[in-house]
Structure 1
Amino acid sequence: MNNFFKYLLVFIGFLLLALIRFYESEIFYDPLLNFFHGNYHQLAAPDFELWKIFGTTIFRYLLNTFISLGILTLLFSKNVFKFSLLIYGVLLLVLAPIFCICSP
């Protein structure tokens, strides 16, 4: 693959990650985003649907994972891809249940 094309795809990948972060409040259901941007130390947490927020959090994690794995695949070897895939998968399996248990 042409180096210019490879780096262009990497740039697009970083741009996609930035766009996901920039538009996260419009794309994903997360009432806690606005809560934590304010003076949350003195306020009660807003009501939210646990399974809805869990689903959108998993979707956001997977979307970011696929883009990140694409960037890693373009920049590094297949061994880095395999290791990163393992790390992302293990973290998902460990952190998702913790998210459900610790949510009010």
Structure 2
Amino acid sequence: MQVDIQTRDITLSDELRTHVERRLQFALSHFQDQALLITVCLSGVSGDRGEDHHCYLQIRAKGYPDVAIEDIETDLYIAINRAVERAGRMLERQWQRAHNHLNGPLQ
């Protein structure tokens, strides 16, 4: 798993980097054997509620469509958690579909 974390208007502290990497490791642990290329973009956004935080996540895996998820929250850590969880579920569904397609319907 290769992770590229990019920020705009946010300081990438060691704590924040560790949080992102741990969340990705946990949510994508089923895909450790896949060569995943993950891009995480974190930024501050002015919104109706004041300052919000945006987390955009893109996952590329050979043989699968790209997964792109984004989340906006007032708390950056919540935005990261939700985006990573959703991306993990989406990648799992894609893997299941591909696996079922290759093996045919269950009998």
State TM-score, norm by structure 2: 0.31
Which of structures 1 and 2 has the larger relative contact order (alpha carbons within 8 angstroms, sep 6+)? 1
State TM-score, norm by structure 1: 0.32
**Quick check: which one's helix share is greater?**
1
Larger Rg: 1
**Quick check: which one's strand share is greater?**
2
